Each structure stands twice: as structure tokens, then as C-alpha cells.
């Protein structure tokens, strides 16, 4: 079913929207099946799980880290990760910069913005992002590039609330782009809400269960 699911979703996505297939908790064979159907961008939320999968799978896959980051584990992905979505502190940026330097790489990062009303969602406020983007520290970090923002909406089926949350990030993104030309990626939208996110300017969606089926978290 993975191939069929992928095709169905890709048919619905506008050309400029990148599909990140979220394969967390799923076995290698499922990722290989998606790969064989042409998918090349995959997202994981645990660094070690992603590193194991990187070792086992074709090397033209682009691996995205979408989960909350533990700083002491950044070193396990610094040699291969292509985009880190969930960065929410200057300290984490410093660690990514340090590890990227060891591999002579520049690692692309997205700052995670808190748009949901739920207490549990990680992320920075608009003000904190503004402070980071204009800080002297950021200018001195040569091995990272902040290329955009990531946001997760509240877990709800209230469409107007979702549209409001996505819209607040869209406006902030458009405003910041005027000052920071390197901001090009807006990562918003998951299986349940990606169509609304695209209406509000998302150009990168992170979709798991609609491609790979329901996850079980026994592991």
C-alpha cells in the first residue's frame, strides 16, 4: 500500500511543496518500498534510529531530523543529516555548528516556532526567533545555515483554529524573509492538516501515517 499512498498524496501536492515521508518507528523494508516508488526525502524523530537507517539504506536519501533534539546526540548525525527541523535554542545551534565543522559541512536548520496553544509543543516565540536571527553569535557560526521555520499546529480538527495558527507563522515567515534572504523553507503540515498548511504557504509537509499506516509505539 505504501506506493499507492505515496502516489495519492503526491498527486495532491502542488509542485513547489516538498514531501518529507516520516518513517519513524517503521522498519527498513517499508522505507525501501517507498524508495523504490521514487521517494528520496525521509524524516525521523530519533537520532540513533535515523543513523541506523542511514547506514542500511541507499546513500542518495535525504535524511531530515524532525524531532526534538538531544544535544549530546547531534554528533551521531552530523556527517549525513540534510535538514534539521526542530531547532529551538541557540545552544543547540552551537552544538550543530561544532559537529558540522568536524565534518567540513554546513548543516541546514529550521527554527521551530511555537504556534500551538498546547503546553506540550516545543518551540520558540516570534520574539526569540527574531533575537536569534539578529544575534552576533549566529553570524559567527559558519557551519550552519538557518533556511526557514518549522511549526506544529494544535492537535485538533477545528479548521479555523488550524488556519489561524498556520497563518500566524506564514505572516511571520514572509516578514522575516524581507530581512533574511536565506529563509526559503516553511515546514508545516502533517497527515491530518497538510492541506490547510499548504493553503497558508507551507512548502514542506511532513507526512507519516497517511503513507506508512498507523504507528505502534511498543518499541
Region binding ligand PLP by CB under 6 A among candidate stretches 11-19, 51-59, 93-101, 206-214: 206-214
Interface with ligand PLP (CB under 6 A), residue from 39, 45, 97, 176: 45
For 119-129, letters b (16+ CB in 10 Å) and e give eebbbbebebb
What is the Cα–Cα distance from 197 to 193, expressed in whole angstroms?
Answer: 6
Q: Which residues of the chain form beta strands (DSSP E)?
A: 18-22, 41-44, 62-65, 83-87, 107-114, 144-152, 185-188, 204-207
Per CB under 6 A, does 208 bind ligand PLP?
Answer: yes
The pattern of x and - marking residues 69 through 108 that bind ligand PLP according to CB under 6 A reads ----------------------------------------
CA dist list (Å): 31 to 25, 35, 50, 154, 168:
11, 6, 11, 28, 34
Rounded (5°) CA angle 64-181-65: 10
When CB distances to ligand PLP are compared, the closest residue is: 208
* Residue 2 in contact with ligand PLP, rule: CB under 6 A: no
Residue 37, Cα to own-chain centre: how many angstroms? 22
Q: Which of residues 135-174 bind ligand PLP (CB under 6 A)?
A: 152
The CB-of-104 to ligand PLP minimum distance in angstroms stands at 29
Which DSSP letter does residue 118 get?
Answer: S
Binding of residue 116 to ligand PLP (CB under 6 A)? no
Distance CA 197, CA 187 (A): 9
Residue 186 touches ligand PLP, criterion: CB under 6 A? no
Q: Which of 50, 69, 129, 190 binds ligand PLP (CB under 6 A)?
A: 190
Q: Please state the closest distance from residue 207 (CB atom) to ligand PLP, in A.
A: 5
Using CB under 6 A as the binding rule, whether residue 66 contacts ligand PLP is answered as: yes
Cell numbers describing residue 134: 539578529
The verdict on 23 binding ligand PLP (CB under 6 A) reads no
Q: Does residue 196 bind ligand PLP (CB under 6 A)?
A: no
Contact residues toward ligand PLP (CB under 6 A) are: 22, 24, 45, 66-67, 152, 190-192, 206-210
Amino acid at each position: 500500500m505504501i506506493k499507492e499512498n505515496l502516489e495519492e498524496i503526491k498527486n495532491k501536492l502542488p509542485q513547489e511543496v516538498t514531501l518529507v515521508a516520516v518513517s519513524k518507528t517503521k522498519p527498513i523494508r517499508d522505507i525501501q518500498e517507498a524508495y523504490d516508488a521514487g521517494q528520496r526525502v525521509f524524516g525521523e524523530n530519533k537520532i540513533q534510529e535515523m543513523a541506523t537507517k542511514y547506514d542500511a539504506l541507499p546513500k542518495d536519501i535525504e535524511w531530515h531530523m524532525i524531532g526534538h533534539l538531544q544535544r549530546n546526540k547531534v554528533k551521531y548525525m552530523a556527517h549525513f543529516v540534510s535538514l534539521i527541523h526542530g531547532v529551538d535554542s541557540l545552544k543547540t545551534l552551537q552544538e550543530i555548528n561544532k559537529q558540522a565543522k568536524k565534518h567540513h559541512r554546513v548543516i541546514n536548520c529550521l527554527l521551530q516556532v511555537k504556534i500551538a496553544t498546547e503546553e506540550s509543543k516545543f518551540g520558540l516565540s516570534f520574539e526569540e526567533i527574531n533575537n536569534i536571527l539578529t544575534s552576533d553569535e549566529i553570524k559567527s557560526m559558519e557551519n550552519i545555515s538557518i533556511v526557514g521555520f518549522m511549526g506544529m499546529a494544535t492537535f485538533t480538527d477545528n479548521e479555523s483554529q488550524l488556519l489561524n495558527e498556520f497563518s500566524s507563522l506564514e505572516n511571520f515567515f514572509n516578514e522575516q524573509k524581507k530581512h533574511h534572504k536565506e529563509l526559503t523553507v516553511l515546514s508545516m503540515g502533517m497527515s491530518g492538516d497538510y492541506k490547510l498548511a499548504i493553503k497558508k504557504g507551507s512548502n514542506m509537509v511532513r507526512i507519516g501515517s497517511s503513507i506508512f499506516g498507523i504507528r505502534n509505539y511498543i518499541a
